[in-house]
Structure 1
Amino acid sequence: MSRSDLDDIDFAILRALSRDATRTAGALGRELGLSQPATWRRIRRLQQAGILLGRRLDLDRKKLGFGVTVFLGIKLATKGRVSLEDFERAVSAIPEVETVEHILGMYDYRLRVTARDIADFERVLRRRIMTLPGVGNVDANVLLSEERRPGPLG
């Protein structure tokens, strides 16, 4: 299934779920003028096609005691000696690392790291990240604020 296979109702379902993924098929159907079973079938079809990958839970990190988020740019020092898979497997095992993105540009990877405070982040950086296989240069950017954007569907 591709973008051309989707109709206006499919896009309306995706937009509604991107705003609030907890909405039931019945509630979505009432909003869109569809029956609950018809809405559920469309959601299921979007899931099976791999367009709707899942529903996410957003947590308030600060209320949970995680007040610092840092984005790290990682340049591997020895690409030939350490496989990308080894690095990815090792970095994915660190609980404070929320996302691992393999990117093109100045760095090989971008990580989103969440910590309790700067001292906790420093501990994670020194003891866990800097000891990963193949790590060369590391650049850190501390998140000051974050704004939610609607995304490509509006």
Structure 2
Amino acid sequence: MAETQRQPVPRDDNGELDTATAFLTFARNCVLKKTDGLTEEQLRRVLVGSGTTLLGLVHHLTFAELVWFRHHVAGGADPGDVDMNVPEELTAADVLAGYRAAIEESDAAIRAVGDPGRPIAVAIDGKVHTLRWVLAHMTSETARHAGHADILREQIDGVTGR
């Protein structure tokens, strides 16, 4: 099957922060494009035993962005639960807009810190990590869920590609 959504990985290599943010952005975009052109029903469709849906993945990643970048990196309020259960009252458009807004907020927090080696504002389990660690964690988390999204999208309509 031809990969209809395939895009090349970033070629950015102009410094640690530039490279790290390029790969995080790439992973985020991979998740978002899996939702392109789908209906509300398709985005909420349960196709696996765990109950994971495309919209649930986006919802989860929204809160992950807020937990790691708003709370731990910038020192803002902890947004709370990071599960994949999308409340019925939230539309797909609401969830997708929320993810895009969380990404913008996260990118602003990353730029404000600037140096990947700087310590984050709020410790994780009593240990103060660096922005570098949070970037690596969120890139791997987002990429892992992008893979899940790719499989779900293929099951919905056959569309594939990173």
TM range (shorter): under 0.3
Bigger strand share = 1
Bigger helix share = 2
Q: TM-score, normalised by structure 2?
A: 0.21
More RCO (CA 8 Å, sep 6+): 2
Larger radius of gyration: 1
